[in-house]
Amino acid sequence: MACVNLARLDIADYLWRDADGHPTLLASVEVVAGGSAEFEYVTILAETLMEQTWDEISAGIDEVSPDQSTATEAKRRMADQVWCGLLVVLIRAIENIDKGLKFLADKTKELLRDAVGKHFESGFAKNVADAVVGLVVDKVWAALVQLAEAHFPILGAKSLRGLRILAVFACPSVEQHPEVYRYALQPLMDEGCELVTDKVKAWVTTLFTALWRKRGLALAA
């Protein structure tokens, strides 16, 4: 939808500005530790969780698929709604974190498995679907562990914002994915950082409120 693309443009503009609101080109990941800008923060999350895992995921799908058409369809589904679904799980895990709950826990991994698994419930033999789901979750989980071991601040407001931004950009059709709107785009529009301009925010909110109402979907959690 055009209004979602306008929101993405607003977010992209925000990412290319420094802490004082000025346009900048960032060259060092060290800015993450200093917290002066968020472009590198989002980039590190994207590269670690998605880009660096994809080659092994793609090769693994080829290995467990009985033929090329099955592998192609599995990869198509990955590109369709799987990545943004995974990101929503991580967003919700961080939102619900407390002193009694560890982020890197079995419960989080189980939720990731459920999020991926629902996209492979039809059209695949069970053994192939299970293999693909296990492969994707294991690679993404290993990437999360890598971030934690490198002392990347995976929890907190910045990570939450970064994962929300990734989900909005990774989702090919937000209008078909209410969770991405509810847990990623809507919170970004509500932020005090003014990531999305008021005009675009009004367009998006009006359009999606009507869309979900027409489909009988509530926006409240």
Mean pLDDT (whole number) for 127-149: 92
Per-residue pLDDT, 43: 85
Distance CA 184, CA 192 (A): 15
Task: Answer with the residue of higher pLDDT: 137 or 204.
Answer: 137
Average pLDDT over residues 187-203: 75
* Mean pLDDT of the 63-90 span: 92
pTM for the model stands at: 0.79
Q: Which residue has the higher pLDDT, 95 or 8?
A: 95
**pLDDT at 79 (0 to 100):** 86
* Residue 33 confidence class, pLDDT cut points 50, 70, 90: very low
> What pLDDT is stored for residue 172 in this prediction?
83
- Pick the more confident residue, 186 or 18: 186
**pLDDT score for 12:** 76
The per-residue pLDDT for 64 is 93
Average pLDDT, the chain: 79
